[in-house]
Amino acid sequence: MRKFDTKVQHLKYKVLREVARLAWKDELMENILDIPQTIIPGKVPSMRCCVFKERALIGERVKLAMGGDKKNPNVIEVISDACDECPVGGYLVTDMCRGCLAHRCEDVCKRGAITFDEHQKAHIDKSKCVECGQCAKVCPYSAIMDFKRPCERACKIKAIKMGPDKTAEIDNEKCISCGACVYQCPFGAISDKSFILDVINFIKESKENSAYKVYAVVAPSISSQFTYAKLGQVITGIKELGFHTVVEAALGADIVSYNEAKELVEKGFLTSSCCPAFVSYIQKFFPDMAKNISHNLSPAAAISKYIKETDPTSKVVFIGPCTAKKMEFQKEEVRPYIDSVITFEELQALFDSKDLDITSMKEDVLDNASYYGRIFARSCGLTDAVREALKEQDVQNFELKPVPCDGIEQCRMALLKASKNMLDGNFVEGMACVGGCIGGAGCLTHGEKNKAEVDKYGREAMEKTITDALKTIHMIKDEKH
Amino acid sequence: MKITVCIGSSCHLKGSKAVVGELQQLIAENNLKDKIELAGTFCMGRCQEGVCVTVDDKFYSVSPETTKEFFLNDVMPKVK
């Protein structure tokens, strides 16, 4: 039973679990200072120089688990004291350099940054080097390495820089809150803020869903998570936490693909609006392209909007793989529908904060959406769904030319081309995470089989077409108008 | 009058779509569109008894097979 990919995630989880455990009992405030000691007992350090630093950093993580720095609008935050101040050498020649005769590195370097010492070993003149990496590519011994910081390497939009004190700093003007750095920092020095306390409060104040009902909207990528249990047991677990019921965000995806197909035909060119980090990327880096962003809400927001229509006093919590969703739900156009967002990591912490062993629970059902809504969780799913929606709506004289992009680098290429009218395509499916949502930073685990798991979950849906999945909603809406 | 049909997972699997479809048809056939509001909701907390339906606040357990009977016996007499 492997719950997490890394020990950093595990540490974060332990903090979230302790904070939640105390919060359920209304004992957080009086016991808050004891959490570091609970998590780091004894006198022998296991992570840092001493237990005192370890505990101090747990204290910082407790702050993040409680919502983090309220003055910082970004949901991604650096724990400065946890940052190891990794060296920022960039491309360096290692001992593997054999001082060969060919000197390919020298020939390929357009800046003349490569010099040789008396042993014919290469050196890089950092005053000339622009970190293009060509020398590393051509070296037959792979002797030139890129010693970039993991956070900076993870951040494809270059929003992370070394601050004056050598710790990582996030440029909020650029950051799209995708969470790539959160997942990649080996010291756990960058983390997403948590809203678990808000969620616990919603549940507690609902008085067992009598004052109002608390709905969980789960992302379809849940099918690749909690693999140690059955999906039906996860659903039971979510209800045991105190949620009134669980609804598939994938049904929102059905709504989105149905409407997006229409909008695409109408406008002729569209970039998708499902991924909040991709939308934010366009707004920040390609503002001229913002007019092409689909006007559809994201699937999570679309289904939450529908839930609020059926139950206006409800509270809706989105549970997914995504840190950028924590920004999205605070946007003016989404705030009325989604009340809070937590990740799968945080859901695991909530389960364990109540000592819920989901593996021993009976299986509940989760079935609202179609195959197409469910496969949104992986790259190309949205494209497949829009193609299907065009077919189901019997659209003639329109050829879908999709450009599915996963990972910011692919998104960037497509947007660059599109901004110059050189893109051979009329629909850009943009997902900031590699592989789509299953690659999200808030996932417990990331694995090779995740895409297959999503497809399997898709095939298990009772409804096989988008139209069928939406039929009930459409019939009810028809009656109203 | 408001008829609310549960469209949550459990009731969806038990045929809430067919129930809504049948009710919609019956409402139209009887020219009751102005008098009956058809609504959906996600879960009424009585999944075992699905498909869960309420008429105003009264609870009924309905299935696609019993929808017509339910409409004739429990809805029609109450419509004014």
Interface test with A, best of B14, B42, B48 (most A CBs within 10 A): B42
According to the model, what pLDDT value does residue A2 have?
A: 66
Best mutation site among A303, A305, A476, A478 for testing chain B: the one with the most B CBs within 10 Å? A476
The confidence score (pLDDT) of residue A40 equals 96
Name the class of domain B2-78.
alpha beta
Binary contact (B38, A475; C-beta < 8 A): yes
| ipTM over 0.85 threshold | yes
Q: What is the pLDDT of residue A111?
A: 95
Tell me how far apart the terminal alpha carbons of chain A are, to the nearest angstrom: 51
The pLDDT value recorded for residue A480 is: 53
Give the pLDDT of residue A453.
95
Q: B3 and B53 in contact (C-beta within 8 Å)?
A: yes
Residues of B in contact with A462 (CB under 8 A): 12-13
A478 vs B contacts (CB less than 8 Å): 24
Helix A381-392 × helix A466-480 angle, to 10°: 60
Distance separating alpha carbons of residues B76 and B36, to the nearest angstrom: 10
CATH code, domain carrying A74: 3.30.70.20
pTM of this prediction?
0.94
> Which residue in A472, A480, A481 has the most chain B C-beta atoms within 10 A of its own C-beta, making it the best mutation to test that interface?
A472
Look at chain A and report how many structural domains it folds into: 4
Does A245 lie in the same domain as A184?
no
* A210 and A75 together in one domain: no
For the segment A184-222, what is each residue's pLDDT rounded down to a tens digit? 999 999 999 999 999 999 999 999 999 999 999 999 999
pLDDT digits (tens, 9 = 90+) for A225-254: 999 999 999 999 999 999 999 999 999 999
**Which residues 6+ apart lie within 8 Å of A266 measured at CB?**
none
Contact assignment for A476 to B10 by CB distance below 8 Å: no
| B70 beta partners | none
Residues A261 and A278 occupy one common structural domain:
yes
Contact A133, A146 (CB under 8 A): yes
Quote the distance between the C-alpha of residue A234 and its chain's center.
20
CA atoms of A84 and A185, how far apart (whole Å): 10
Range of the domain at A130: 90-147
CA distance A88 to A124: 14
Positions in chain A short of pLDDT 70: 1-2, 478-481
Residues A227 and A296 in one domain: yes
User: Are A6 and A112 part of one and the same domain?
Assistant: no
Kindly determine whether residue B33 and residue A479, on different chains, have CB atoms separated by under 8 Å: yes
User: Which DSSP string corresponds to A192-204?
Assistant: E---HHHHHHHHH
Q: Which of A193, A226, A253 is the last residue of a domain?
A: A193
Instruction: Give chain A's length.
Output: 481
Cα–Cα distance measured from residue A57 to residue A52, given in angstroms and rounded to the nearest whole number: 9
pLDDT score of A481: 45
pLDDT at A479 (0 to 100): 58
Bridge-based pairing state of the strands A340-343 and A315-320: parallel
User: Among A33, A66, A99, which residue terminates a domain?
Assistant: A66
Mean pLDDT score across all residues of chain B: 94
Closest CA to A7 of A39, A32, A31: A39
Task: Indicate if A400 and A457 belong to the same structural domain.
Answer: yes
Question: Which 5-44 residues of chain B touch chain A by CB within 8 A?
Answer: 5, 7-10, 12-13, 16-17, 20-21, 24, 27, 33, 37-43
Q: Which member of B5, B38, B42 has the closest CB to residue A245?
A: B42
pLDDT at B79 exceeding the cut of 70: yes
